[in-house]
Structure 1
């Protein structure tokens, strides 16, 4: 165990360029069992280490970060490790990459039941809900999702400001009052294009020149592990998933023709529907439905999860229209239920109608317009960039 204390200290001492994430302020840190889910590259490890650093003054060696990717845990149970840590005075155990450990949910349940004085914070794949199967943790774990950086978070990092997130109703009803306070400090549109290309994942902070290559590496890992391995898809079918991602990236947003896609990747319609659902669970896609979604219901529209994925997978096929709609969907879906609506681009929370487009975009009657390339809106015409302040 002493080796893990040394590794913990070295990691904390080497922290730099930590981004303050909105999720820090939404978690109930007093709860004894907290789970952090998130897609690859979104910053889960850095998030845990930042929490460990903040706890250092109060807890010292009583807080320990452990990466379960270590070969040590091929021979040591999490429960046994946690029990020893607690007996040595441990208070908070941070378990990174929990999905790398078999039968993890049973062991966390044992810790919760038998070591009540120990707090566990764990992180893992966005498909954790699928992996855990019999749902041992459903009633005891507080689960949270670490999303890609919002435009607000990116803007704060780039400019040194501390803009706070805004409720949707404030954006809709008070945008003309809110926007001048932002413009007094920064010109958001000066950073908006950069965000669309390489602002969703925190590793832009490290080396922007390698951003796309790093993102593609994470996408491929998600396909190989979060999609194929966890859904028990044989690795020989990975090329089909990659081809499906390329087909989608070349056409988004689009209404999927499942029969055509099944022919293009040489598989059945049912398999294509499953693949779409798996890719959604891995946070690589957004699936938008006309009504209630279901495992056998075809989505009305398919989008890549964010604009950075569009530039990474199919940069020559990006268009202003698809970038704007993908940005709006990505930012609003964190706080709202987003559906496809008749005669509008999106329907938020079953009632708010939105058109998304350029600076001359107009709302439908009783609806709103999210307009790009404007700094200040009027009435029901709202600057598109402001929706990046939702989280």
Structure 2
């Protein structure tokens, strides 16, 4: 146990989160069982350590553990939690909880046996906490940690502290908001960098970003999908090939029969793999309206964020696809997006039509449509700078 305390102290003392994530204030920390999900690489470990540093420092009532530790190949979470709370432990932070085969049952046992112990755990976005783990349905509070928004990236790069705005605030007050931002920085000077490498916090590391992201993408498939969905290793190459084919094809409806032929499997299996890739936050499935959902074929498949596009097929990246993907990704947190009609790109929340306009796009202004304008610093009326939608979280 002392070894775990020493590791915890070292990690907390050496944690330096470059941006304080808003999720820190959105979580109700009074709950006894809190799950923080998110795609690999968005900073879940750092988030846990930042919480420990802010609230407890090196106080031994809080302890961070990682399920990668070989200790847990012989001892259960329940065993460890029992020993920890006997020593006065109050808050146990468990990173990568899914590495324990019986993690959901063990968390339930801890919840029932140790009423004075709070557990905060991280897991993959592939985990379906409430749907697949009935033991936790009524007791675990689940939150999602996303990659950096453009606002967070801008704050990090400039030292500013711009706040987030709701979609309604942006639609109704975008000129005033944009002027306030422009009085301090020129957002477009940073926008392309964000599209290329700003979503994942590890762009801050002194390593090649694209290589690091490719490694992360492989881990998403090899660990998050294969391990959690219990898929045999021999099918790994099929899932990777499918992901590549979808990425290179660009945003469009998948030809499921052709994909099934190319990866030599059934149509039903292709659709299951597509769902797993979406759960892993590698792709997004866009439908035409709320009536349609999986297992129906989506109207369009897009990459989850623009950083992925530059890493997986840099020579084929189309500017318009990047802009569409940025808008989808930034709105994805709190809004539902559907495929627009021939004159629009997306229908947001089933009622707000948006056209994402690349540089030089000639607008035939429809007063019922919102136009998200690339390369515009400031907008007017229903024409809004695209970068400003990066402030919705």
Do they fold alike, i.e. is TM over 0.5?
Answer: yes
Deviation per CA, 1:45-73, whole angstroms, max 9, x where unpaired?
A: 0110111111224x711111000111101
CA distance in 2, matches of 1:179, 1:8: 42
Contact 2:353–2:368, Cα closer than 8 Å, also in 1: yes
Report matched runs for 1:329-368 at 5 Å.
329-343=328-342, 344-359=344-359, 360=361, 362=363, 364-368=366-370
- Cα deviation, 1:51-106, whole Å, max 9, x if unaligned, reads 1111224x711111000111101111111211221121111110000000111111
Aligned to 2:298: 299
Give the conservation status (yes or no) of the 8 Å contact 1:289–1:301: yes
**Cα deviation, residue 131, structure 1:** 9.8
| Aligned twin of 2:25 | 25
Are 2:217 and 1:215 aligned?
no
Report whether the alignment pairs 1:61 with 2:60: yes
Query: What does residue range 1-391 of structure 1 map to in structure 2 within 5 Å?
Result: 1-57=1-57, 60-129=59-128, 133-207=132-206, 209-291=207-289, 292-343=291-342, 344-359=344-359, 360=361, 362=363, 364-391=366-393
Give 1:132 deviation, angstroms: 7.6
Query: Following TM superposition, by how much is the alpha carbon of 1:294 offset from its aligned partner in structure 2, in angstroms?
Result: 3.1
What is the CA–CA distance in structure 2 between the aligned matches of 1:376 and 1:318, rounded to whole Å? 26
**Distance in 2 of aligned mates of 1:228 and 1:300:** 26
The alpha-carbon deviation at position 238 of structure 1 amounts to 1.4
The answer on whether the counterparts of 2:126 and 2:224 sit within 8 Å (CA) in structure 1 is yes
8 A contact 1:8–1:65 mirrored in 2: yes
Larger mean CA deviation between 329-338 and 77-86 belongs to 77-86
SS at 2:339 equivalent: strand
Q: Deviations over 1:136-158 (max 9, x none)?
A: 11111110011111111111111
Does the C-alpha gap of structure 1 residues 134 and 17 become closer, same or farther in structure 2, counting only changes over 3 Å?
closer
- Secondary structure of the residue that 2:134 maps to in structure 1? coil
Q: Give, in angstroms, the shift of residue 341 of structure 1.
A: 2.5
Greater mean deviation of Cα atoms: 105-114 or 170-179: 105-114
Q: 1:78 to 1:132 in 2, by over 3 A?
A: farther
- TM-score, structure 2 as length reference: 0.96
* C-alpha distance in structure 2 between counterparts of 1:271 and 1:364, whole Å: 42
> Which whole-Å CA distance do the structure 2 matches of 1:185 and 1:157 have between them?
14
Distance in 1, Cα, partners of 2:366 & 2:300: 20
- Contact 2:125 2:281 survives alignment (8 Å): yes
Distance 1:20 1:228, change over 3 A: same
8 A contact 1:19–1:202 mirrored in 2: no
| Counterpart secondary structure, 1:190 | helix
The number of residues matched between the two structures is 389
Q: Is the 8 A contact 1:290 1:340 kept in 2?
A: yes
TM-score w.r.t. the length of structure 1 is 0.96
Q: Partners of 2:133 and 2:309 in 1: how far apart? A: 36
Distance of aligned partners of 1:81 and 1:361 in 2 relative to their CA distance in 1, 3 Å threshold: farther
- Per-residue deviation, 1:283: 0.6
Q: Is the 8 A contact 1:18 1:46 kept in 2?
A: no
